[in-house]
Structure 1
Amino acid sequence: MEIAVISVVLLWISYTDIQSRIISNNAIVILMMCISFGFVFNDSLSFNILSLGITFAIGISIYAMGFWGAGDVKLSCVLSVLVPFEHLFSSYYYMVILGGVISLFYLIKSMISTSKHDDGIPYGVAISLGFISVIFSTSL
């Protein structure tokens, strides 16, 4: 049940990221609350501080290089607490592959489009899909 609620919140975050290229702090707080309630009411969820620390370090580095926004870092950090360390790099792998597919889509779209306005890539979609796929597969 918790995974379903988290998935709905991630759909909302992905939609807003596609529409405005912004992952709002309110959305992150709502996601954190959903995850927190899951920890309180479900013994099978485990908090993974090592995954959070590694994700934070990598995320801040990517942000500092200008490839991610702060919302992407916050989203990946919040989701990382649900991923056991042994599956963390699978999350990154799926996220990078999905990010590449999304980037390719936007590259083709920009080549076809007459508008030269560049809003960037909604990487929150790749982050959400990459992490939720591993979270779902490890919770079965």
Structure 2
Amino acid sequence: MTELVNVDIQRILEMIPHRYPFLLIDKVIDIAADESAVGIKNVTMNEPQFTGHFPQQPIMPGVLIIESMAQTAAILVVHTLGADAEGKLVYFMSIDSARFRKPVVPGDVMHIHVRKKQSRGPVWKFESEVRVDGVVVAQATISAMIRDN
């Protein structure tokens, strides 16, 4: 059952250790412990990656889209495990079947959907997709491990 929990930026900063310029989610609008989460990333022209990727036609780098999936998944992990997991690091272990369907550009709002496939001990696996205006722009299966700092 989905909990309509609004995880704002202040709460995100408590839950995961990422900071500007590498914090790539602005809020989480829908989360169900041990199941799924939907993160939001407002893509803006003033982000540092757009000075070089690409100045004449800026697009969000695919690796940063994948990172936004991982950060949304990390929020889901911390929400599921509770306060003891706050601030712990969630390390990538694998990225499988990554697909980029359409460029993400400044002005877009990314809706980052992550769904837990499985978890065994500290290892979690997620199906992820990013949508802009309801259109799937990226997909991947990611695995990560939660660790003490």
Q: Give the TM-score, by structure 2 length.
A: 0.27
Q: Could you say which structure has the higher helix fraction?
A: 1
Q: Could you say which structure has the higher strand fraction?
A: 2
